Amino acid sequence: MPMKSPPHVLIVGASRGIGLELVRQYLADGALVTATARDDASLQRLRELGARALKLDVTSAASVAGLAWQVDGSHFSTVVINAGVYGPRLRTLDTPTDTDFDQVMHTNVLGPMRVVPQLLDALAPQARLAVMSSRMGSIGSRTANSGWLYRASKAALNSVLKDLSLALIDRAICVALHPGWVRTDMGGEQADLPVETSARMLRGTIAGLAATDSGHFFDHDGTPIPW
């Protein structure tokens, strides 16, 4: 009987934090991992861990345009679009500058809209495709209004994910995920979860997805979150 090939995982945005920890954990479980980062030092770190490292800047149309040929022949069973920024910590009614708005929206929303079409031929049948969203993007459960630029970007990302789930209905299980409040550069030292725990629980949620979960929004532990 031929040996079963290990799963192939793609992590977009793996230079640090949750993305880097996902790379570590998937590799430790025996998966083949392709991971992206923008700078040479991060790429070298990923190679030293054992991942195939690709240089990618999701805010650059030219950079993303070269992704399809770099992953040609791959069959990703899991794809996590993790690249994202918080941007300025604006209070509601603090108007963002054009530069800040463009940076956050280009990274968090336009980035995935550019990346996913480049990956269509590299998805394994019934691949799991997850975008790293945030509970802060939920409109239905919102009770606070801090960080309104970041919230707007994640709400827009959730809309993009829903459309992807409809477009790829017979090809991939597409979900938005909230990683929890994690001790990363973005989450800060006061956050609830160590990055190792968040990544482990995210991987469990992704692995347990069923076709009927496509087009939905989940917490890191698999609990549904209202849009």
- Using a pLDDT cut of 90, give the percent of the chain over it: 86
Domains of the chain: 8-219 (3.40.50.720)
As to burial, measured by CB atoms within 10 angstroms (0-12 exposed, 13-18 middle, 19+ buried), residue 218 is buried
Residue 10's beta-bridge partner residues? 34, 79
Query: In this predicted model, what pLDDT tens digit does every residue of 122-166 receive, in sequence order?
Result: 999 999 999 999 999 999 988 888 899 999 999 999 999 999 999
What's the whole-model pTM score?
A: 0.95
Q: What is the spatial distance between Cα 218 and Cα 227, in angstroms, rounded to a whole number?
A: 10
∠ Cα 24 25 28 (to 5°): 90
State the angle between helix axes of 98-105 and 148-167 in degrees (0 to 180), rounded to the nearest 10: 30
